[in-house]
Amino acid sequence: VRVRYSRATSSTAVTDIIGKINEELSDCIYALKDVTLAHAVATRLLASGKKLCIAESFTGGGLASALIATPGMSNALIESIVCYSNDSKAERLGVPRKVIADNGAVSADTAFEMANGLLADPACDVAIATTGIAGPDADGTNKPVGLCYIAVGTREKVRVFRFRLSGDRETVTRTAINLALFLAYKEIS
């Protein structure tokens, strides 16, 4: 949301309007100034002192790339793994092969296990995992293009979110990256 006003508008009126917007949309707002979502997440993560680990499948490193644009992220980001194959999910993150066989690589259970695998590292405070189908086709699965699961959590709890995104491959991937960033922002809050 951008609030535009003329020089004739009083600062009190602008402050009141911004306050009302913030009140109404507080669950959807990550900043009251013009900053990227990735920068807001990075800043919040750095201020919290928490350490982040990321496992990306269909977002292919885009999440980590967005975050490391903020200077100092080396103080908060432990690792980012692009685990595109099922073997990588199983061998690197410890996702049980039975979970992948029974539910598929694109499933809530797989996203949960990916995040859990990251949280096995005692240095990891916050984990983000993404798995989905960006398109242009479903690669032989019976799942729709645009289906994705994003897991965000800590050792206390991991939440998995399901989304059905639309658009071309680039749009689906970019939207999923932004959703993961927003969910992480809320988790770190």
Question: Residue 161 is inside which H or E element, if any?
Answer: strand 158-164
pLDDT score of 18: 84
pLDDT score of 88: 96
Instruction: Decide: helix, strand or coil at residue 124.
Output: coil
Distance CA(104)–CA(4), nearest Å, equals: 47
Of 187, 170, 189, 183, give the one whose Cα is nearest residue 62: 170
Of 58, 55, 57, give the one whose Cα is nearest residue 135: 58
| 97-111 pLDDT tens trace | 999 999 999 999 999
| 12-36 pLDDT tens trace | 998 898 888 878 887 877 776 778 9
pLDDT score of 151: 98
Please list, in sequence order, all residues whose beta carbon lies within 8 angstroms of the beta carbon of residue 72, skipping any fewer than 6 positions away. 42, 46
The DSSP result for 50-101, as a single string, is --EEEEESTTTTHHHHHHTTSTTGGGTEEEEEE--SHHHHHHHH---HHHHH
Distance CA(95)–CA(35), nearest Å, equals: 35
> Over 90: is that where the pLDDT of 178 sits?
yes
pLDDT score of 32: 67
